[in-house]
Amino acid sequence: MGTSWSQFFPPTPQLTESTLPNQQGKVFLITGGYSGVGLELCSLLYHAGGRVYLAGRDKQKGEAAIETIKQSSSSSSSSSGEITFLYLSLSDLSTIKPAVDAFTATESRLDVLFNNAGVSNPPPGSVSAQSHELQLATNCLGPYLLTQLLLPTLNHTASISAPGSVRVTFTSSIVVDFQTLPTQELFALHVPHPSAQQQNYLHSKIGNWFLAHELDRENPAVTFLVLNPGNLKTALTRHLPAIVPFLVAPLLYHAKMGAYTALWAGLSTDLSLEDGGGYIIPWGRRHPSPKGDIVRAIEGGAATRFVGFCEEETREYRA
């Protein structure tokens, strides 16, 4: 329980804009890059000299975010890199391959894929373009397809880079540590509840852990990680009753703190290939005691089953 509560009051982050090495020559793709954690992460990497692809479904918001990043106080730094908007909608699988095609038409490498975008507690009955429950689609199916289509580029980059430096992150949540599911439900994350949106959200966040674990096992040259970015003041809470963000406001941090968590997962030299499949907690630490019932479910084949479901549901959108 001590580790769980320490996620509400994390120690000082170790990898920030003041300690981040120059990222010139590296390429990053960040989903949900025009708000919240994604926006902060794009800014950190751009100002460190990286080539950043800000991915999202709203071109106008994306381009406005890019302009804001370029005009920010750090933009005078000579180490500023490049930043480009990339259109994709994780809730519409048909948009993902065209986005990857556009990316690979320009880039031959990808150092870190940050699967950052997500949705939480939309109105009951919300579905994706392909009629999947919206949180399952946006948080799991879309990121799974995006990652699979980018694997050739990620593996190529790994072949010419330091071992363990090419990474993919998936975004989970503190709810994974504080809520419990029956064993049979852990084996059926793909079955949505008709009206219990918080339960569906929890399913998708456990699903992100399952994806990181299985994809790491299947792709030994790339390091896959799952992270809880932290409790943050972002638009992710927009669908919750207004009283909820008000009540928890004293426990919420600026979105940049969540970007520090992702930055550590994506770039820290304290992590290696051996850490693949691991869980990262705020503001950049290995989870010392991942939740036992989920670990047992993974060992029992739940993660393999979930990835099989994601594979089946996304296969036709690869061509």
pLDDT at 245: 56
What are residue 27's DSSP bridge partners? 51
Q: Which of 201, 260, 279, 317 is catalytic?
A: 201
Say how far apart CA 301 and CA 296 lie, in whole Å: 9
Helix, strand, coil percentages, rounded to 5, for the chain: 50, 15, 40
Terminal CA-CA length for the chain: 46
Predicted local distance difference test score (pLDDT) of residue 4: 72
Q: Name the pTM for this structure.
A: 0.94
Closest by CA to 165, choosing from 260, 265, 258, is 265
Q: What is the pLDDT of residue 6?
A: 84
Given the residues 43, 120, 128, 205, select the one marked as catalytic.
Answer: 205
Amino acid, single-letter form, for residue 291: K
For the four alpha carbons of 157, 159, 162 and 164, in that order, the dihedral sign comes to: positive
Q: pLDDT tens digit string along 46-99?
A: 999 999 999 999 999 999 999 999 998 654 455 789 999 999 999 999 999 999
| 143, 211 Cβ separation under 8 angstroms | yes
CA–CA dist 262, 15 (Å, integer) = 10
Whole-number Å distance between alpha carbons of 133 and 274: 34
Q: Is 195 a catalytic residue?
A: no
What's the confidence (pLDDT) of residue 248? Answer: 52
The DSSP letter of residue 65 is H
Query: What is the CATH number that goes with domain 10-317?
Result: 3.40.50.720
pLDDT tens-place values along the chain, 319 residues long: 556 778 989 999 999 999 999 999 999 999 999 999 999 999 999 999 999 999 999 999 999 999 999 998 654 455 789 999 999 999 999 999 999 999 999 999 999 999 999 999 999 999 999 999 999 999 999 999 999 999 999 999 999 999 999 999 999 999 999 888 999 999 999 999 988 999 999 999 999 999 999 999 999 999 999 999 999 885 555 444 554 554 455 668 899 999 999 999 999 999 999 999 999 999 999 999 999 999 999 999 999 999 999 999 999 999 8
DSSP string, 186-244: HT-TTS--SS-HHHHHHHHHHHHHHHHHHHHHH-TTSEEEEE---SB-SGGGTTS-THH
For the chain, which residues make up each domain, given as ranges?
10-317
- If you compute the radius of gyration of the chain from its CA atoms, what whole number of angstroms results? 18
For residue 156, give every residue at least 6 positions away whose Cβ sits within 8 Å of its Cβ, in sequence order, or none: 108, 109
Q: Tell me, yes or no, if 70 is annotated catalytic.
A: no
Q: Which of 35, 43, 89, 172 is catalytic?
A: 172
- Residue 8: name the closest of 232, 221, 194, 271 by CA: 232
Question: Catalytic site residue 172?
Answer: yes
Q: What is the pLDDT of residue 247?
A: 46
